[in-house]
Structure formats: C-alpha cells, structure tokens
Amino acid sequence: MTIPINKKQIKGEQMKKALLIAMLFGLSGVGCTSLSTLQGARTNKKGEMTHTIGVGSYMTEITSSGSSGAKGTSGETVSLPMVEYMFRYGVADNFDFGLKYSGTSYGGDVKYNLMDGNFALALGLGVNLLSVETTVGTTATTTSITDIIVPIYMNYDLGNGSAYFVPKVISKSISGGSQSTSLTQTGITIGYQFKKEKGIFIEYNMVMWSEDVSGTSKSYTIAQPAIGYVW
C-alpha cells in the first residue's frame, strides 16, 4: 500500500499528524482496530463462560473544511468486512472480563455491573492492539495502534429483549517508524439484544474526532454496524 503525502506543504508537527492520520486510514485496507462492543451492561455470573461471534462492515469517511468553511468529503470512503470472536468469563456475579480477536487486531476488557433490573448500568475499561507493516512512498514502516477505551454500558429492557447504549472515550496512540502521536476520540454504540442475555443481537458503532492540518479542519468518522450471536 502506498499513501501519498505532500511533505512540501506540511511541516513539523503538522507533517507528523498528517502522515500518521494517513497511515491510520490507510490501514483500513489491511486491518484496523475494532470499534464493536458486542455486549451490554450485564455481566456473566461467577464461573460462567460465554462466546460471541460478530460480523459487520468497517467504514471510514473524512470531512474537511478550509478557511472558507465549505465542507466536503476528501478521499474515498472505505467499506470492509469485519469478523470477530469474543470470550467472556465471570469473576464474580457483577464483574467479568473478555478477550476479543478481530482478524488483525486483538484486545481485552473488564466490566463491573452497578445496577441490574429493567435498567442495567456498568462501567468498563478495555484495550485494543494492532501492529501492521505499511509502505509510505518507498519506505516500509511498522505501524502500531493502541486504543485505551473507557465505556459506560446502559441497558433498558424492551419486551423479550434489551436495548443497550454505550458512550465511550478512546485514547489512541499511533506510532510508525520514528514518529508517534496520540488522539482522543469519542464514540457511541447503540444495539439491541433479542433476548436479555444470550442469543442474537445487532449494533451500530461510531467513532469521531477532528484535527487541524495546515489550516484545514478535518473531521473523521469511522462506523461499524454488526450482527452477532452469544451462547
């Protein structure tokens, strides 16, 4: 993969940010850290194990606006399939942990349930990791991405199922070659479990952030709809 960067127009920190952002979106062609939640606020009971399979599509888009304020989409919108597996284990009745593999990225999380009734609430902490080799011009670079994720899980029971809503903050570190930078992203997951704990679920995940590069404000959006099954 070749990701062109006009280095004459960008200097110092701006060049570093532009290069790493381009690498981040370029990785959409070969791999990416997963956005999915694959779970609501309820935790596994002590000693209980569950397995989750999810399939979806990973989509990226860049919107830019210059000094005129005119907005538009720069670059191509990328849409790629995503297949994931998650294992969870209950350490206590209200505390569990999970391990997730998403093709090119992997990670883990812990979750602590605070309330469990018709409305359920939980706090979590997770990490996603990705390392892949890309080519920028004629230079091969190993790019590493680490996501630290702080979500708040909320469920509200509707009929035989349960809707869930998960706002999250993501601290993303990107390093490639001798360059590195960090981003703070905000995200949200909206989903529905057709049964309150196990079975089929659907969800829509979105992450957003913005950067200023050479006087141009760019807003980035990554979305990942998914459908899955828990047993």
Per-residue pLDDT of the chain (231 residues; tens, 9 = 90+): 333 434 444 444 454 555 455 555 545 444 467 889 999 999 999 999 999 999 998 777 666 554 444 444 444 566 778 899 999 999 999 999 999 998 778 999 999 999 999 999 999 999 999 887 766 677 777 778 899 999 999 999 998 999 999 999 999 888 877 778 888 999 999 999 999 889 999 999 999 888 776 667 777 788 999 999 999
Sequence-ordered list of residues with C-beta below 8 angstroms from that of 58, at least 6 positions apart, any chain? 28, 32, 34, 35, 78, 79, 80, 81, 82, 222, 223, 224
The domains of the chain are located at 12-230
Cα 216 from Cα 121, distance rounded (Å): 40
Asked if residue 49 lies in contact with residue 89, where contact means CB atoms within 8 angstroms, the answer is yes
Architecture of domain 12-230: Beta Barrel (2.40)
Q: pTM for the whole thing?
A: 0.81
